[in-house]
Structures are given as C-alpha cells and as structure tokens.
Amino acid sequence: MQKEQADPNTTASTSGHRHVPGGYHGNYLSVNLGPDDQTSVTAQRVSIDPSVLRRFLGGSGLGTWLLLEHGSATCDPLSPAAAIAFVFSPLVGSPLTTSAKFAVVSKSPLTDRINDSLASSGFAIAGKSVGCDALVVTGQAASPSILVIDQDEVRLEPAESLWGATCSDTQRQLTERFSSGWQFAVIGPAGERLVRYATISHDGRHAGRGGSGAVLGAKNIKAIAVRGTKTCQWAAPGDLLQLAKAMSKKSMGSATDKYRELGTATNLLLFNRLNTLPTRNFQQGYFEGAAALSPESMSIARKRTRAYCAACTIGCEHIYALSDQEGADGVRLEYENLFALGPLCGIGDPDVVLNASRRCDDMGIDTISAGGTIAFAMECVQRGQLDQPWLRFGDGVALLKAIELIGTGEGFGRELAQGSRRLAKSIGGDSIRFAAQVKGLELPGYEPRSLQTMALGLAVGTRGADHNRSGAYEVDFSARADRHDLVPATAALAIETEDKAALIDSLILCKFLRGIFTDFYGEAAEMLNLVTGWETTADELQCVSRRIITAKKWFNILAGWTPDEDTLPARFLNQPLPDDPAAQLDKQQLSASIRMYNEQRGWSPEGWIDRQHLEDLGLACFDRRAMGFEVACVSSRR
C-alpha cells in the first residue's frame, strides 16, 4: 500500500499569502496514479488563483478550466494521461438548499468531446472537507484499487475483491470496510469493462452521461473514498442563513410541486398527448402503452416512497417497489429512464422498465444511452440490417438481456457498449441516418421535430444531445416561440437557457430551483457575495456563463471539433413526425438558426472562436498554449 502526504504548503492560503474568498479552499488536489512504476501515488495541493475562481466559480466551469490546464483535450480519454476532475463549488457545505452537489468533468470516451456530469450526495460535502475545491486524477493504478483520501493522506488500497461487484454491493462493502465519516464514489462492472457510457455512482445517485465511469475504470480505480474535517468560512454567515431560510421556503412552494408530487416522470403523459414522446427509436412521437407506465398509474399499483438528496428540501426522488422482488430495495423512477427503457424500446410493461432501470443502476450504465443504443439496434433488426433476431421492439426479455450483455461484455453486448454512433459505423449502410445521437451522445426524451427550439439546443450542445445543458424545451412550452417553427430569432432564447444552465451548474444548485427566482442573475450574485465576500453583479455572472460555454467550445475545438458535428441525424431533417404532420424540421432553418446562435455567441458563423474573443473573455492563456493548433484551424477554413 503506497501512501502520499498531500503537501499543505502548496495551498493558496499559504502560498504567496493570497486572500482566499469565502466558500473556497483556494487549491485543488492533484493525484497521479503510478507515474513511475505503476505502484505508487503522488498527491499535491495546487494553488488556484482567486481570479480563476471568480471567472469560473466551481462545478462545470472550474472543471473545464482544470481540463484545459491539464491539456486533456488532445488526450485519449481512456489513456493514463487523461484527467478526470471531481469539482465542488463555493456553495457546498453552506446552508443553501440543494447545494450538496459536485461535477465530474472529463473528456468523454463516448463523444471524444468535453463531458460534465453533475450529481448530489454526501460525497460533495466530504470531498470538499478534504480541504480542496477539486480533485483531479491522472495516471493508472497497476491493479484494481481504491483511491483513499483521508484529508492530507492519499493512498491506494487493493480492490480485487470488489472487482466485478455491482455499484450497490460495492457501496455496501465499502461502508462495512471503512469506519463512519467516509463517502464513496464507485463504478460498477460497466466501468470496469470500459463501457463508453458507464456511470459513477455514489449512495445510489449517478454521474450518468458521457462515460465518466469508463474513464475511472481505465485508471483501475474501483472507488474513491474521501474523509476530511476542513471547513470554509462564509463572508456573511448571518445574512447567508437568512437567505437560505427564504430559499428553502420558496423551494417548498408551487414552483416545485410537480417534483414533490410525482417527480419528473409526470412529463410522460403530457409529452405523449403532444406527440413528443420518442417511441421506437424516434419513429413515432406517441406510445400507445404510456398510461400503464405513468407515475399516476404506478403509484396506485405499487408502493412508492419519497426521498431527498443531501441538503435538499424538495424531495424529488420517487422510489417504486419491484412487485416481483419482495423486500428488495426500490427503484428511483425519473422521466429519462422511464422514456429510454420504455417507449423508446417499445416496452409498456412497468415491471420490465423498473427492472431494466435497476439493472442499469447496478451495472453502472447510463439509462439514456443504454436505451438509445438498444432501440437503435432494434430498428436495425427491424430493417434487416442487423442479424440479432432476438432483439426486437416490445420484447422485455430482450431488453433485459441486452442490458446484461452490455454490463458483462459478452456477445453482442461488446458492440452495444460502444454507443449508437460507433455501432452505426460498424453496421454501415444508411444506419447512421437514424442513429439518434449528436456528437455520439444519445438523444434524451424530447422529440426535436415537435420541440424545435430544443432541436437547436441539442444540435449545438458542447456535450452532445443534452437536455441538462440546454433548457430550450422551456421556450418551446412557452408563448415565446412556436415549437413547430424554428426561426433564427429563437437562437437568442436558446442561448438564454444555456447561459442560465451554465451558471447553475457552476454554482452548483439544482435546476429544479430555477422556478423560484424572479431575477436569477441578481439573486445568484447576492448568494455568491454572501458566501465569498465578492461584490459581483448580475452582469458579471452573465459574462461568467458566456466564458464557461466558450471555454467548453474551445476544449472541443482543441479535441478536433468541426462544424458538421453541430446538427441532428438525417431522420429529424425534412422528414415529418408520423403522429404530427406539422412537426417537420427544415434542414435549412436549422442551419440558419445554428449560424445565428454562433454569431450571437461572438463566434464565427461556422462556430470557430477567434483570438480576440478568447482575449475578451479572459481565455487567452489557453489560446497561447494551443497557438499552433489555432493557426492550423484558421488556415484550414480559408
């Protein structure tokens, strides 16, 4: 067992006598696994300049800065050189509701572009208590290991006995193995086998999309265990407590009713009525079996309990009993796993969908990408383009078998584990035209032909097809736009939702709070000032949002992004939705809206970023480091 003391003398609070803002430790913990002989671990606390903290905050923003600092854009995401960052925020540990969140940021093995997954759990609080604002892991352990961070002591412990265990079993065994006060982030069998959409689990919650579990698995890390006692100061603790009480009260009001009553799964019947529920790999927008899957029906048919994330007053988790497994733990049911493992695969049996969701959780598999890839394969079988006759729409046994094969890496599971884009390339023909993905990330449960502002958000998203980094569907469900008619003017509305999401994901707060704010940027500035002691403004935070999104875009450019990535699969372009003939997305309209989006971001119409814009947003240091690359980009597009 190799131990390493993290040198406390490299922290921002002691190095150069920099003033550390409230809510921060002023450093990140850099851990390198086996840099020399693959049997050791080195750890160092690295100062973060206060100006960086103010420009990137925490969570997704600070994580993007860390990846750029480590040069991860040009690394193979599954190589030892690739960095994976667990990033906290100035609000973690504060009395503000929903603030116990962290971001996992890395280059995605599914998309080869930037990936940030957020989650809520005690891991955020314990991780920050180690005395750092982020944990960055590089290298590769020689054998399956647990990365143990006990405040200033960092060590590896063997994990051979845990290798192959499910996420829930791993969590249970670690809880028994370690004393109280520890929190864990773990991977399941999918992460060990480098499934490109494997998750990282912590207390039953998942950092789900983009394959961060595979990045950790490639480093031979089965789990990260953290424990610490260090705390941060708040600039105005009394006023902060009063603000926290007011926010908590609002969080239990009408703006969050739907999440408390039945959760996000309430979207199912609404989307079905609007013909925007993706069905059988987006071949339809209406599913005839939706009623049986709805939370309204399942709440009557089986036991349901409500649960809360750490430091949360909303209680959006709805856990349903598995009717055929008496005494077993329930299954968290949310709209996205319900849609992806139900209508998308033509499955209307609640028992199958719940069991499929449970199996994904145990294996450590992203439900959206699993359902999306399986549904794509089912359509390939339907079309006679894939010789897997057992894999058909509506077959619950086939769905459960496919998930098992993905997790075990057996048979056709090895190909399903690559995601729909790589599978389409393997199958060939015209299959890529109906592989429902953007940049390799499978689409969430929003039909882009009938939610056309969302179509724009999906096309331009730096993470790929993503409903969490763009809330453009909110525009489609409002009176501000015609959801059946995308026009370039709506680009500004898509940008507005994307900017808000970037700030929420960097503060970090739960997006379910967004409805309680009447002046989001002004109220965000107030809470941040009470924590940090800064005198930031709404205008400054809007600039922070734009900076973070541009930094993510720049990461992707360095990673090899080209403008033809910002689009939707051919299925969605100039082919109306059968259930709703008015739902037809014109390719030229989408292209014009993408150009408008890019121009309003301050980029070129094609989406490139010039040096002046990087300079204006304080990102010029990353331009200088990649000067040769940018010159090549400029030359190639002349």
Beta bridge partners of 49: none
Q: SS3 of 205, please? A: strand
**Averaged pLDDT, 584-590:** 95
Check residue 636 and give its pLDDT.
Answer: 35
Q: Which of these ranges, 311-320, 433-442, 443-452, 490-499, has the smallest mean pLDDT?
A: 311-320
Check residue 98 and give its pLDDT.
Answer: 86
- Tokens for 359, please give them: 């199996």
Q: What is the pLDDT of residues 27-86, one digit of tens each?
A: 999 999 985 555 579 999 999 999 999 999 999 999 999 999 999 999 999 999 999 999
Q: How far apart are the first and last CA of the chain?
A: 55
- % of the chain beyond a pLDDT of 70: 93
CA gap 433, 449 in Å, rounded = 15
Q: Which of these ranges, 191-205, 270-284, 309-323, has the smallest mean pLDDT?
A: 309-323
pTM of the model: 0.94
Burial of 565 (0-12, 13-18, 19+ CB in 10 A): middle
Q: SS3 of 180, please? A: coil
**Averaged pLDDT, 567-590:** 94
Quick one: CATH architecture of 3-227?
4-Layer Sandwich (3.60)
Neighbours of 635 (CB within 10 A): 8
- More confident call, 403 vs 97: 403
pLDDT at 630 over 70: no
pLDDT at 397 over 90: yes
Confidence of residue 9 (pLDDT cuts 50, 70, 90): very low
SS (H, E, C) 19-70: CCCCCCCCEEEEEEECCCCCCCEEEEEEECCHHHHHHHCCHHHHHHHHHHHC
- % of the chain beyond a pLDDT of 90: 76
pLDDT at 4 over 80: no
- Tokens for 536, please give them: 């930031």
Q: What is the pLDDT of residues 76-116, one digit of tens each?
A: 999 999 999 999 999 999 999 888 899 999 999 999 999 99
Confidence of residue 1 (pLDDT cuts 50, 70, 90): very low
Do the two domains 252-447 and 449-638 of this chain adopt the same fold? no
CA gap 577, 225 in Å, rounded = 48
**Averaged pLDDT, 375-385:** 98
DSSP alpha helices (H): ranges in 533-619? Answer: 538-559, 587-600, 611-616
Confidence of residue 378 (pLDDT cuts 50, 70, 90): very high
Check residue 99 and give its pLDDT.
Answer: 87
* CB of 394 closer than 8 Å to CB of 387: no
Quick one: CATH architecture of 252-447?
Orthogonal Bundle (1.10)
Q: Parallel, antiparallel, or unpaired: how do β-strands 27-33 and 134-139 relate?
A: parallel
For tokens 């970037």, what's the residue?
A: 502
Nearest to 555 by CA among 420, 462, 428: 462
Q: What is the pLDDT of residues 216-238, one digit of tens each?
A: 999 999 999 999 999 999 999 99
**Averaged pLDDT, 126-136:** 97
Chain-wide mean pLDDT for the chain? 91
The beta strand positions in 287-378, using DSSP E, are 304-307, 317-320, 331-332
Quote the Cα angle for 507-510-515, to 5°: 105
HSE-CB at 541 with a 13 A cutoff on CA atoms is 27
Long-range pairs for 582-588 at CB < 8 Å and ≥24 separation? 582/484, 583/275, 583/276, 583/285, 583/447, 583/449, 583/450, 583/484, 584/449, 584/484, 585/448, 585/449, 585/452, 585/455, 585/486, 586/486
Which are the contacts of 312, defined by CB distance < 8 A and separation ≥ 6? Answer: 97, 98, 100, 120, 510
Nearest to 609 by CA among 589, 575, 634, 584: 634
pLDDT at 628 over 70: no
Quick one: CATH architecture of 449-638?
Orthogonal Bundle (1.10)
Q: What is the pLDDT of residues 146-189, one digit of tens each?
A: 999 999 999 999 999 999 999 999 999 999 999 889 999 999 99
Compute the Cα dihedral for 197, 198, 200, 201 and give only its sign. positive
Q: Where are the domains of the chain?
A: 3-227, 252-447, 449-638
CA gap 538, 383 in Å, rounded = 53
Check residue 17 and give its pLDDT.
Answer: 52
**Averaged pLDDT, 462-477:** 92
Q: What is the pLDDT of residues 512-542, one digit of tens each?
A: 888 889 999 999 999 999 999 999 999 999 9
